[in-house]
Amino acid sequence: MSQVPSDPSLDRRSQILEAAIVCFAKRGFHQTSMHDISAEAGISVGLIYRYFANKEAVISAMADRHKSEIQELLDRAKQAPTLFESLEILFTAHCCENSPKVLSAFVVDLYAEASRNPQIADLVRDVLDTAMGGVTDLISRSPEAQSGATHGLEPHELAELIFAVARGMLMLDVLQPQEMTSAERRTRQLEVTRRLWRLLFKTESEPAYA
Amino acid sequence: MSQVPSDPSLDRRSQILEAAIVCFAKRGFHQTSMHDISAEAGISVGLIYRYFANKEAVISAMADRHKSEIQELLDRAKQAPTLFESLEILFTAHCCENSPKVLSAFVVDLYAEASRNPQIADLVRDVLDTAMGGVTDLISRSPEAQSGATHGLEPHELAELIFAVARGMLMLDVLQPQEMTSAERRTRQLEVTRRLWRLLFKTESEPAYA
DNA sequence: TGACAATGAATGAACGTTCATTCATCGTTC
DNA sequence: GAACGATGAATGAACGTTCATTCATTGTCA
């Protein structure tokens, strides 16, 4: 129970970031005040400025955190025994980890921010390139791709489609009414997404028409 | 050149909305001040309040305008001779009509707003349902679907995938650096999107593997 | 002159940021 | 181990600024 904090100032930083993502998901970056964050974290406003230069820096740090979270997620996905299981790990993480659309709301906001802030855009592009590189790799090594059951499309092209659908379903996620649970949203999204995966990696045994 | 204004107060409204979308795309809803909008429109701040109750109302009106634009776009797409051409009209409109990512930045912002504002969420969901209904219809009537070359998927399921990829590509659009032209972005997006369409409506003549 | 369109200075609330101050903790000294 | 000084994490009131909104005033046309 009693954790020994390795670096207390790191704990403070992540405590603040944890509070920040809750506020950002609830209100968005620019409608969240520093007082909101401090209240959510249970600390004073001034203390935030001991750990972050300004509000911009909090947003940037959140984007960085998102980058390393995706990196970890990718590593975890690579462990999965089949391509399909890897894809499921990757593309439904945002439904379960935090309960109510916290992550998807944050990511949509991040893209909105990226459209105006080139620094954020670079970072998001970087995250995307890394993740897509990883998935392209996963696809290349998969038996599905090596057996040639990919409609003559390159692994890279398949990855592009998979990511497009994933982003599209994430956008849809923020439209779902609050009363829908994470599990429900996950199921709905998996339904659509799996349809694409099956199509892309169709084992030619099943006939398209009976 | 000299238009006869049918209703001058309607013109004022759309003049303000025109200025607003430029500002919103440049800075986002909540970083845009009423002064920004009035300056862009070339009018005074106070005048905006003659036509809109408050800032929220401007955002809502913009969302409404978006709804009717999509409606018109759908009607135009329905006129096209083939399914593929209909889809191209629908899903690249945001690349050409306004020059530099204005529309895609606005739409991503709109989704971000929808994640917090249930009223906006309802409206966006409504737009989406209408558009998807239209496309589902287009697909049903298309020779591609009627010849059964759709992998046993329902028109509705095909539409879901098409819209997911479209939203995903729209998100990608806001990440593209400013120096990329609308035409370039359009080409890139069409490449990926067409790949999906060909896959979904594959004429079984072309073999997957040579 | 009357009716209405349009202006932009004025208002007050809210925000990001600063900083003087507090106080628990720790090392040092006897 | 008791007394004391130093440290810096933490506080929150205060500051300057920005912003949405209001409204007294001016301009315009019939």
- pLDDT score at A97: 61
Number of other residues whose CB lies within 10 A of the CB of residue B178:
9
Token match 């169709």: residue?
A: A202
Give residue B156's identity as a one-letter amino acid code: H
List pLDDT tens digits, range B145-196: 888 778 889 999 999 999 999 999 999 999 998 888 888 888 999 999 999 9
Q: Work out the pLDDT band at B209, boundaries 50, 70, 90.
A: very low
Q: Are B195 and A203 in contact (CB under 8 A)?
A: no
What letter would DSSP give residue B148?
T
Angle (CA) A31-A33-A39 rounded to 5° is: 125
**Cα–Cα nearest to A98, from A69, A141, A60, A63:** A69
Contacts with A, B 161-200, CB within 8 Å: 161, 163-169, 171-172, 174-175, 177-178, 192-193, 195-196, 199-200
Stated pTM of the model: 0.90
Yes or no, beta carbons of A171 and B111 under 8 Å apart: yes
Who has greater pLDDT, A143 or B93?
A: A143
> Of the candidates B111, B118, B195, which has its C-beta nearest A108's C-beta?
B111
The C1' atom of C6 and the CA atom of B46 lie apart, in whole Å, by 8
Residues A67-74: contacts with CB under 8 Å, at least 24 apart: A67/A123, A67/A126, A67/A127, A70/A127, A70/A130, A70/A131, A71/A130, A74/A130, A74/A131, A74/A134, A74/A135
pLDDT-derived band at A10 (thresholds 50, 70, 90) equals low
Residue B207 has pLDDT above 80, yes or no: no
In the numeric block, which tokens belong to residue B91?
């899903």
pLDDT above 70 for A171: yes
Chain A, chain B: beta-carbon pairs less than 8 Å apart: 155
pLDDT mean over A36-49:
95
CB A61 within 8 A of CB A52: yes
Of A117, A126, A153, A15, the closest CA to residue A66 belongs to A126
For the stretch B181-190, pLDDT in tens is: 888 888 999 9
- How many other β-carbons are positioned within 10 Å of the β-carbon of residue B119? 13
Averaged pLDDT for residues A49-54: 95
Overall average pLDDT of the B56-69 stretch = 93
Tell me: pLDDT of A209 over 70. no
Please report where in the chains the tokens 């004073």 appear, as a residue.
A44
Query: Does B92 contact strand D, using a CB cutoff of 7 Å?
Result: no
